[in-house]
């Protein structure tokens, strides 16, 4: 976990990011960017590619992320422009981060929370989307999406794909919605009060607020 800024320039510095992992970083005096140049695993006793990284706390400086990353968690006060690594599968955005990002094609899951409110294109292989916080931009859902959770400020029209089997809607979302026949589980909360036609595929229905809905079966 990166939690504080690095001040010493052009010097390799070791930082413990977990109980078993220590990364080596170098802050370039010329560019101002921090690079992760090594990752040592105490359990195995060898250096290996860094696959998981959490940015948290007071850390807030430009960073070059390694292509080996498959999981990235951004929170705290970090708010710098970053290039998402091409092999990243899982991304979680929290805290005050609010910069444009381009998602790679390998992405499987994304969680959007906190201050983030930038236009975003979801890659076609994405299977899991969780939206909350201040995000409220138009989106196009990928055709392979299986899990969709909406809450927070989001209140944009969406076209649900036939691949979705879990749908949770809450927060300020209150748009006319057509449920596809693929949906197995539906959870409703927040301010939603539009009529819904329940699909034959539905096996699980949860309503977490005062009932104010019209259902057609």
User: The whole model's pTM is what?
Assistant: 0.90
pLDDT at 100 over 90: yes
The whole-angstrom distance between residue 217's C-alpha and the CA centroid of its chain comes to 34
128 and 97 fall within a common domain: no
54 and 148 fall within a common domain: no
Q: Across 46-133, where does the E strand assignment appear?
A: 46-47, 52-55, 63-64, 71-74, 90-93, 109-112, 128-131
- Which domain range does residue 152 map to? 124-132+141-217
Q: Which residues contact 56 (CB under 8 A, 6 or more apart)?
A: 1, 2, 3, 73, 75, 76, 78, 95
Encode pLDDT of 42-89 as tens digits.
Answer: 888 788 899 999 999 999 999 999 999 999 999 999 999 999 999 999
Q: Which percentage of the chain shows pLDDT scores above 90? A: 68
Indicate the length of the chain as a whole number. 217
215 and 167 fall within a common domain: yes
pLDDT band at 216 (very low <50, low <70, confident <90, very high): low
96 and 150 fall within a common domain: no
96 and 6 fall within a common domain: yes
13 and 77 fall within a common domain: yes
Q: Which structure tokens are listed for 83?
A: 């290039």
Encode pLDDT of 169-183 as tens digits.
Answer: 999 999 999 999 999
Q: Which percentage of the chain shows pLDDT scores above 70? A: 95
SS3 23: strand
Compute the chain's Rg from CA coordinates.
20
Letter string b/e over residues 177-193, b meaning 16 or more CB atoms within 10 A of that residue's CB: bebeebbebbebebebe
52 and 128 fall within a common domain: no
Q: Whole-angstrom Cα distance, residue 208 to residue 217?
A: 20
- What is the reported pLDDT for 6? 81
4 and 77 fall within a common domain: yes
| H/E stretch holding 160 | none
Q: Report which DSSP code applies to 84.
A: P
Q: Which structure tokens are listed for 101?
A: 């990002």
Q: Give me the number of domains the chain comprises.
A: 2
- Look at 72 and 9; give whichever has higher pLDDT: 72
């Amino acid at each position: 976990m990166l939690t504080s800024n690095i001040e010493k320039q052009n010097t390799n510095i070791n930082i413990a990011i977990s109980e078993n992992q220590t990364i080596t970083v170098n802050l370039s005096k010329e560019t101002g960017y921090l690079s992760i140049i090594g990752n040592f695993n105490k359990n195995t006793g060898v250096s290996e590619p860094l696959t998981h990284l959490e940015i948290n706390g007071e850390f807030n400086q430009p960073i070059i992320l390694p292509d080996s990353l498959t999981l990235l968690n951004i929170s705290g006060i970090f708010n710098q422009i970053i290039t998402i690594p091409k092999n990243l599968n899982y991304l979680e955005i929290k805290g005050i981060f609010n910069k444009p990002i381009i998602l790679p094609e390998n992405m499987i899951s994304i969680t959007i929370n906190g201050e983030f409110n930038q236009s975003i294109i979801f890659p076609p292989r994405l299977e899991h989307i969780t939206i909350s916080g201040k995000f409220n931009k138009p989106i196009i859902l990928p055709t392979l999406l299986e899990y969709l959770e909406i809450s927070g400020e989001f209140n944009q029209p969406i076209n649900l794909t036939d691949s979705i089997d879990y749908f949770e809607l809450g927060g300020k979302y209150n748009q006319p919605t057509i449920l596809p026949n693929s949906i197995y589980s539906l959870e409703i909360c927040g301010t939603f009060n539009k009529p819904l036609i329940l699909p034959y595929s539905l096996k699980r229905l949860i309503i977490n607020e005062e009932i104010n809905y019209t259902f057609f079966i």
